[in-house]
Protein backbone atom coordinates (compact mmCIF):
# COMPACT_ATOMS: atom_id res chain seq x y z
CA UNK A 1 0.00 0.00 0.00
CA UNK A 2 1.73 3.16 -1.19
CA UNK A 3 -0.49 6.01 -0.09
CA UNK A 4 -3.55 6.68 1.99
CA UNK A 5 -5.33 9.95 1.36
CA UNK A 6 -7.32 11.74 4.06
CA UNK A 7 -8.88 15.13 3.23
CA UNK A 8 -8.15 17.64 5.98
CA UNK A 9 -10.44 20.62 6.20
CA UNK A 10 -9.89 21.84 9.72
CA UNK A 11 -7.16 22.13 12.30
CA UNK A 12 -9.72 22.60 15.11
CA UNK A 13 -10.36 18.87 15.52
CA UNK A 14 -7.07 16.93 15.69
CA UNK A 15 -8.69 13.56 14.91
CA UNK A 16 -7.46 13.28 11.31
CA UNK A 17 -3.97 14.49 12.17
CA UNK A 18 -3.60 11.97 15.00
CA UNK A 19 -4.90 9.16 12.79
CA UNK A 20 -2.49 10.14 10.02
CA UNK A 21 0.42 10.10 12.46
CA UNK A 22 -0.60 6.68 13.73
CA UNK A 23 -0.83 5.29 10.20
CA UNK A 24 2.57 6.72 9.27
CA UNK A 25 4.11 4.86 12.21
CA UNK A 26 2.78 1.71 10.53
CA UNK A 27 4.42 2.68 7.24
CA UNK A 28 1.32 4.10 5.57
CA UNK A 29 1.84 7.45 3.89
CA UNK A 30 -1.14 9.65 4.65
CA UNK A 31 -1.64 12.96 2.85
CA UNK A 32 -4.36 15.53 3.23
CA UNK A 33 -5.48 18.79 1.71
CA UNK A 34 -6.69 22.03 3.22
CA UNK A 35 -8.66 23.14 0.17
CA UNK A 36 -12.42 23.06 0.67
CA UNK A 37 -14.61 21.32 -1.92
CA UNK A 38 -11.77 19.72 -3.89
CA UNK A 39 -12.18 17.76 -7.12
CA UNK A 40 -11.28 14.37 -5.71
CA UNK A 41 -10.09 12.54 -8.89
CA UNK A 42 -7.39 15.16 -9.47
CA UNK A 43 -6.30 15.14 -5.84
CA UNK A 44 -6.12 11.36 -5.79
CA UNK A 45 -4.31 11.10 -9.12
CA UNK A 46 -1.38 13.35 -8.36
CA UNK A 47 -0.91 11.65 -4.99
CA UNK A 48 -1.02 8.17 -6.54
CA UNK A 49 -3.37 7.06 -3.75
CA UNK A 50 -4.88 3.62 -3.38
CA UNK A 51 -7.44 4.65 -0.79
CA UNK A 52 -9.64 7.65 -0.14
CA UNK A 53 -10.60 8.05 3.52
CA UNK A 54 -13.21 10.74 4.11
CA UNK A 55 -14.69 12.08 7.34
CA UNK A 56 -17.11 15.01 7.84
CA UNK A 57 -19.20 15.07 4.66
CA UNK A 58 -20.77 18.51 4.96
CA UNK A 59 -17.36 20.08 4.39
CA UNK A 60 -17.58 18.95 0.77
CA UNK A 61 -20.79 20.82 -0.07
CA UNK A 62 -21.76 23.27 2.68
CA UNK A 63 -22.72 26.80 1.57
CA UNK A 64 -24.74 29.76 2.79
CA UNK A 65 -27.71 28.97 0.55
CA UNK A 66 -29.54 25.90 -0.70
CA UNK A 67 -28.68 26.75 -4.33
CA UNK A 68 -25.05 27.18 -3.33
CA UNK A 69 -24.84 23.58 -2.10
CA UNK A 70 -26.01 21.95 -5.34
CA UNK A 71 -22.94 22.49 -7.53
CA UNK A 72 -20.36 21.35 -4.91
CA UNK A 73 -22.56 18.37 -4.01
CA UNK A 74 -22.72 17.23 -7.65
CA UNK A 75 -18.97 17.80 -7.94
CA UNK A 76 -18.36 15.71 -4.84
CA UNK A 77 -20.64 12.82 -5.83
CA UNK A 78 -19.34 12.67 -9.42
CA UNK A 79 -15.81 12.77 -8.06
CA UNK A 80 -16.54 9.84 -5.77
CA UNK A 81 -18.02 7.81 -8.65
CA UNK A 82 -14.99 8.49 -10.85
CA UNK A 83 -12.62 7.59 -8.03
CA UNK A 84 -14.57 4.38 -7.48
CA UNK A 85 -14.41 3.48 -11.20
CA UNK A 86 -10.66 4.05 -11.11
CA UNK A 87 -10.37 1.26 -8.56
CA UNK A 88 -9.67 3.49 -5.57
CA UNK A 89 -11.10 2.09 -2.34
CA UNK A 90 -13.32 4.51 -0.41
CA UNK A 91 -13.62 4.52 3.38
CA UNK A 92 -15.95 6.80 5.34
CA UNK A 93 -15.68 7.39 9.07
CA UNK A 94 -19.21 8.32 10.15
CA UNK A 95 -18.64 10.76 13.00
CA UNK A 96 -22.30 11.70 12.59
CA UNK A 97 -25.16 10.58 10.33
CA UNK A 98 -26.73 13.99 9.75
CA UNK A 99 -25.53 17.57 9.83
CA UNK A 100 -25.96 18.69 13.43
CA UNK A 101 -27.85 21.86 12.57
CA UNK A 102 -30.17 19.94 10.21
CA UNK A 103 -29.30 22.49 7.53
CA UNK A 104 -30.66 21.51 4.09
CA UNK A 105 -31.70 18.00 5.22
CA UNK A 106 -32.51 16.77 1.70
CA UNK A 107 -29.04 17.73 0.42
CA UNK A 108 -27.51 16.17 3.51
CA UNK A 109 -29.46 12.95 2.97
CA UNK A 110 -28.51 12.72 -0.72
CA UNK A 111 -24.86 13.14 0.18
CA UNK A 112 -24.94 10.51 2.94
CA UNK A 113 -26.74 7.92 0.82
CA UNK A 114 -24.36 8.50 -2.09
CA UNK A 115 -21.31 8.02 0.12
CA UNK A 116 -22.75 4.89 1.74
CA UNK A 117 -23.45 3.36 -1.69
CA UNK A 118 -19.92 3.88 -3.05
CA UNK A 119 -17.99 3.24 0.16
CA UNK A 120 -16.07 0.00 0.48
CA UNK A 121 -16.06 0.36 4.26
CA UNK A 122 -17.75 2.51 6.88
CA UNK A 123 -16.11 3.10 10.26
CA UNK A 124 -18.09 4.09 13.35
CA UNK A 125 -16.92 4.64 16.92
CA UNK A 126 -19.35 2.43 18.84
CA UNK A 127 -21.70 -0.50 18.49
CA UNK A 128 -24.55 1.89 19.21
CA UNK A 129 -23.49 4.09 16.31
CA UNK A 130 -23.34 1.05 14.03
CA UNK A 131 -26.86 0.00 15.01
CA UNK A 132 -28.17 3.54 14.51
CA UNK A 133 -26.54 3.83 11.10
CA UNK A 134 -27.93 0.47 9.96
CA UNK A 135 -31.39 1.42 11.22
CA UNK A 136 -31.25 4.81 9.50
CA UNK A 137 -30.36 3.55 6.02
CA UNK A 138 -32.75 2.02 3.46
CA UNK A 139 -30.25 -0.68 2.48
CA UNK A 140 -28.03 -3.17 4.31
CA UNK A 141 -24.52 -1.98 5.14
CA UNK A 142 -23.80 -4.33 8.05
CA UNK A 143 -21.25 -6.27 5.97
CA UNK A 144 -19.05 -3.21 5.50
CA UNK A 145 -19.51 -1.42 8.83
CA UNK A 146 -16.60 -1.60 11.29
CA UNK A 147 -16.45 -0.39 14.90
CA UNK A 148 -13.23 1.36 15.91
CA UNK A 149 -13.42 3.31 19.22
CA UNK A 150 -12.48 6.97 19.33
CA UNK A 151 -8.94 7.34 20.65
CA UNK A 152 -7.90 9.48 23.60
CA UNK A 153 -6.23 12.89 23.59
CA UNK A 154 -3.73 12.20 26.37
CA UNK A 155 -0.58 14.32 25.84
CA UNK A 156 -2.17 15.97 22.82
CA UNK A 157 -2.62 19.20 24.77
CA UNK A 158 -0.55 20.87 27.49
CA UNK A 159 -1.58 19.72 30.96
CA UNK A 160 0.75 21.27 33.49
CA UNK A 161 -1.37 23.90 35.23
CA UNK A 162 -2.65 23.03 38.71
CA UNK A 163 -6.25 23.10 39.86
CA UNK A 164 -5.62 26.14 42.08
CA UNK A 165 -3.70 28.08 39.44
CA UNK A 166 -6.39 27.42 36.84
CA UNK A 167 -9.04 28.70 39.26
CA UNK A 168 -6.89 31.73 40.03
CA UNK A 169 -6.54 32.63 36.35
CA UNK A 170 -10.31 32.43 35.90
CA UNK A 171 -11.07 34.18 39.19
CA UNK A 172 -13.08 31.22 40.52
CA UNK A 173 -12.91 30.47 44.26
CA UNK A 174 -11.40 27.10 45.23
CA UNK A 175 -14.48 26.37 47.35
CA UNK A 176 -16.81 26.19 44.33
CA UNK A 177 -17.82 23.01 42.51
CA UNK A 178 -17.35 23.95 38.88
CA UNK A 179 -19.45 22.57 36.04
CA UNK A 180 -17.77 23.12 32.66
CA UNK A 181 -19.01 23.25 29.11
CA UNK A 182 -16.11 23.55 26.68
CA UNK A 183 -15.96 23.72 22.90
CA UNK A 184 -17.94 24.70 19.85
CA UNK A 185 -21.41 25.83 20.92
CA UNK A 186 -24.21 24.54 18.72
CA UNK A 187 -27.96 24.28 19.37
CA UNK A 188 -27.96 20.47 19.64
CA UNK A 189 -25.41 20.62 22.46
CA UNK A 190 -28.00 22.04 24.86
CA UNK A 191 -26.01 24.89 26.40
CA UNK A 192 -29.07 27.09 26.96
CA UNK A 193 -30.81 24.16 28.66
CA UNK A 194 -27.68 23.64 30.78
CA UNK A 195 -27.83 27.23 32.02
CA UNK A 196 -31.55 26.90 32.78
CA UNK A 197 -30.95 23.71 34.77
CA UNK A 198 -28.09 25.42 36.60
CA UNK A 199 -30.34 28.37 37.48
CA UNK A 200 -32.90 25.94 38.87
CA UNK A 201 -30.13 24.17 40.79
CA UNK A 202 -29.54 27.45 42.66
CA UNK A 203 -26.79 26.10 44.93
CA UNK A 204 -24.40 28.51 46.69
CA UNK A 205 -21.36 26.29 46.03
CA UNK A 206 -22.09 25.69 42.33
CA UNK A 207 -20.40 27.56 39.50
CA UNK A 208 -20.97 27.17 35.76
CA UNK A 209 -18.12 27.88 33.34
CA UNK A 210 -18.87 28.02 29.60
CA UNK A 211 -16.05 28.55 27.11
CA UNK A 212 -16.41 28.25 23.37
CA UNK A 213 -17.43 29.77 20.10
CA UNK A 214 -20.82 29.75 18.43
CA UNK A 215 -21.36 30.50 14.76
CA UNK A 216 -24.89 31.60 15.68
CA UNK A 217 -24.79 35.18 16.97
CA UNK A 218 -28.30 34.94 18.36
CA UNK A 219 -27.31 31.87 20.40
CA UNK A 220 -24.20 33.71 21.64
CA UNK A 221 -26.32 36.69 22.67
CA UNK A 222 -28.80 34.44 24.52
CA UNK A 223 -26.04 32.74 26.50
CA UNK A 224 -24.32 36.05 27.24
CA UNK A 225 -27.58 37.59 28.48
CA UNK A 226 -28.19 34.69 30.85
CA UNK A 227 -24.59 34.82 32.12
CA UNK A 228 -24.78 38.56 32.69
CA UNK A 229 -27.68 38.12 35.11
CA UNK A 230 -26.06 35.36 37.18
CA UNK A 231 -22.70 35.92 38.94
CA UNK A 232 -22.29 32.13 39.27
CA UNK A 233 -22.18 31.76 35.47
CA UNK A 234 -19.06 32.73 33.54
CA UNK A 235 -19.24 32.78 29.74
CA UNK A 236 -16.01 33.16 27.76
CA UNK A 237 -17.09 33.40 24.11
CA UNK A 238 -14.77 32.73 21.20
CA UNK A 239 -12.47 30.04 19.88
CA UNK A 240 -10.60 28.16 22.61
CA UNK A 241 -6.90 27.94 21.78
CA UNK A 242 -5.19 24.59 22.36
CA UNK A 243 -2.98 26.02 25.11
CA UNK A 244 -6.05 27.28 27.00
CA UNK A 245 -7.83 23.92 27.16
CA UNK A 246 -5.81 22.86 30.19
CA UNK A 247 -6.90 25.94 32.12
CA UNK A 248 -10.60 25.24 31.66
CA UNK A 249 -10.31 21.50 32.20
CA UNK A 250 -8.20 21.73 35.33
CA UNK A 251 -10.45 24.40 36.82
CA UNK A 252 -13.45 22.10 36.48
CA UNK A 253 -14.80 19.41 38.78
CA UNK A 254 -17.35 18.05 36.30
CA UNK A 255 -17.40 18.45 32.51
CA UNK A 256 -20.95 18.57 31.16
CA UNK A 257 -22.37 17.19 27.92
CA UNK A 258 -26.07 18.17 27.86
CA UNK A 259 -26.42 17.05 24.25
CA UNK A 260 -29.86 16.61 22.73
CA UNK A 261 -28.51 14.13 20.19
CA UNK A 262 -25.15 12.51 19.76
CA UNK A 263 -23.54 9.72 17.73
CA UNK A 264 -19.91 10.23 18.72
CA UNK A 265 -18.22 12.77 20.95
CA UNK A 266 -14.52 13.44 20.88
CA UNK A 267 -15.23 16.02 23.59
CA UNK A 268 -16.09 13.24 26.03
CA UNK A 269 -12.77 11.58 25.27
CA UNK A 270 -11.02 14.92 25.76
CA UNK A 271 -12.52 15.32 29.23
CA UNK A 272 -11.55 11.76 30.13
CA UNK A 273 -8.04 12.42 28.83
CA UNK A 274 -7.76 15.29 31.34
CA UNK A 275 -9.02 13.06 34.14
CA UNK A 276 -12.32 14.86 34.67
CA UNK A 277 -15.61 13.51 35.97
CA UNK A 278 -18.37 13.85 33.37
CA UNK A 279 -22.10 14.55 33.26
CA UNK A 280 -23.96 13.26 30.22
CA UNK A 281 -27.23 11.80 28.89
CA UNK A 282 -27.74 8.07 29.26
CA UNK A 283 -27.52 7.17 25.57
CA UNK A 284 -25.98 3.96 24.23
CA UNK A 285 -23.14 5.74 22.44
CA UNK A 286 -22.29 7.48 25.72
CA UNK A 287 -22.61 4.49 28.02
CA UNK A 288 -20.21 2.48 25.85
CA UNK A 289 -17.57 4.99 26.97
CA UNK A 290 -18.78 6.39 30.29
CA UNK A 291 -20.28 4.56 33.26
CA UNK A 292 -21.46 5.55 36.71
CA UNK A 293 -17.96 5.08 38.15
CA UNK A 294 -16.82 8.13 36.20
CA UNK A 295 -19.96 10.02 35.23
CA UNK A 296 -23.27 11.38 36.43
CA UNK A 297 -25.67 9.98 33.86
CA UNK A 298 -29.27 11.04 33.35
CA UNK A 299 -32.29 10.02 31.33
CA UNK A 300 -32.68 12.70 28.60
CA UNK A 301 -36.38 11.83 28.28
CA UNK A 302 -37.00 13.16 31.78
CA UNK A 303 -37.65 16.90 31.98
CA UNK A 304 -35.64 17.20 35.18
CA UNK A 305 -32.99 14.66 34.17
CA UNK A 306 -30.18 17.17 33.67
CA UNK A 307 -31.03 19.02 36.89
CA UNK A 308 -31.12 15.76 38.86
CA UNK A 309 -27.68 14.81 37.57
CA UNK A 310 -26.29 18.19 38.63
CA UNK A 311 -27.85 17.78 42.06
CA UNK A 312 -26.23 14.35 42.35
CA UNK A 313 -22.87 15.85 41.39
CA UNK A 314 -23.26 18.40 44.18
CA UNK A 315 -24.09 15.68 46.71
CA UNK A 316 -21.12 13.58 45.61
CA UNK A 317 -18.66 16.40 44.99
CA UNK A 318 -16.00 14.68 47.12
CA UNK A 319 -16.02 11.77 44.64
CA UNK A 320 -15.41 13.89 41.53
CA UNK A 321 -11.62 13.68 41.67
CA UNK A 322 -11.63 9.88 41.95
CA UNK A 323 -14.19 9.65 39.16
CA UNK A 324 -11.88 11.67 36.95
CA UNK A 325 -8.95 9.38 37.71
CA UNK A 326 -11.13 6.41 36.79
CA UNK A 327 -12.01 8.05 33.45
CA UNK A 328 -8.35 8.74 32.75
CA UNK A 329 -7.43 5.09 33.30
CA UNK A 330 -10.21 4.03 30.91
CA UNK A 331 -9.14 6.56 28.28
CA UNK A 332 -5.55 5.29 28.32
CA UNK A 333 -6.74 1.99 26.85
CA UNK A 334 -7.98 3.75 23.70
CA UNK A 335 -4.70 4.93 22.22
CA UNK A 336 -3.96 6.03 18.67
CA UNK A 337 -1.71 3.06 17.96
CA UNK A 338 -4.67 0.74 18.51
CA UNK A 339 -6.92 2.91 16.35
CA UNK A 340 -4.31 3.10 13.58
CA UNK A 341 -3.82 -0.68 13.57
CA UNK A 342 -7.58 -1.26 13.46
CA UNK A 343 -7.93 1.27 10.63
CA UNK A 344 -5.10 -0.38 8.71
CA UNK A 345 -6.89 -3.72 9.04
CA UNK A 346 -9.95 -2.15 7.41
CA UNK A 347 -7.78 -0.76 4.61
CA UNK A 348 -6.22 -4.16 3.99
CA UNK A 349 -9.64 -5.83 3.90
CA UNK A 350 -10.82 -3.30 1.30
CA UNK A 351 -7.74 -3.78 -0.87
CA UNK A 352 -8.07 -7.56 -0.89
CA UNK A 353 -11.80 -7.61 -1.72
CATH number (domain holding residue 100): 3.40.50.2000
290 and 231 in one domain?
yes
167 and 129 in one domain?
no
106 and 35 in one domain?
yes
Tell me the per-residue pLDDT of 257-300, one tens digit each, with 9 for 90 and over.
999 887 777 899 999 999 999 999 999 889 999 999 999 999 99
320 and 339 in one domain?
no
What confidence score (pLDDT) does residue 59 get?
Answer: 82
Tell me the per-residue pLDDT of 30-80, one tens digit each, with 9 for 90 and over.
888 777 788 899 988 888 889 999 998 988 888 878 888 999 999 999 999
For the segment 213-240, the average pLDDT, to the nearest whole number, is 96
In this model, does residue 18 exceed pLDDT 80? yes
120 and 192 in one domain?
no
What confidence score (pLDDT) does residue 102 get?
Answer: 62
114 and 178 in one domain?
no
What confidence score (pLDDT) does residue 58 get?
Answer: 85
Could you tell me what percent of the chain has a pLDDT over 70? 96
Cβ pair 20, 6 in contact under 8 A: yes
What confidence score (pLDDT) does residue 124 get?
Answer: 95
Which residue segment(s) compose the domain that 145 sits in? 3-151+335-352
263 and 128 in one domain?
no
Mean pLDDT of the chain: 92
Q: Give the 3-state secondary structure of residue 191.
A: helix
Integer distance in angstroms from the first to the last C-alpha of the chain? 14
Residue 158 forms part of a structural domain? no
What confidence score (pLDDT) does residue 89 get?
Answer: 96
89 and 209 in one domain?
no
346 and 327 in one domain?
no
Give how many domains the chain has, as a whole number. 2
In this model, does residue 329 exceed pLDDT 70? yes
126 and 18 in one domain?
yes
Amino acid sequence: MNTCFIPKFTSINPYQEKLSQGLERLGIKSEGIEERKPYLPEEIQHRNAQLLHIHWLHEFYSANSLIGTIKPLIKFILGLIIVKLQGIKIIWTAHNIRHHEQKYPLIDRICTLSVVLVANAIIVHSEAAKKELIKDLPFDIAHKAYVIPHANYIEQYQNSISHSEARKQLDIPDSKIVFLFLGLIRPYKGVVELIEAFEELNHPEAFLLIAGKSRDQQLTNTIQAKADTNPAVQFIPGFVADDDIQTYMNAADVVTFPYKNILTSGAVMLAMSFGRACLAPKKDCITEVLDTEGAFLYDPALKAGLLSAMQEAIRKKDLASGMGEYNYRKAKAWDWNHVAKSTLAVYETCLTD
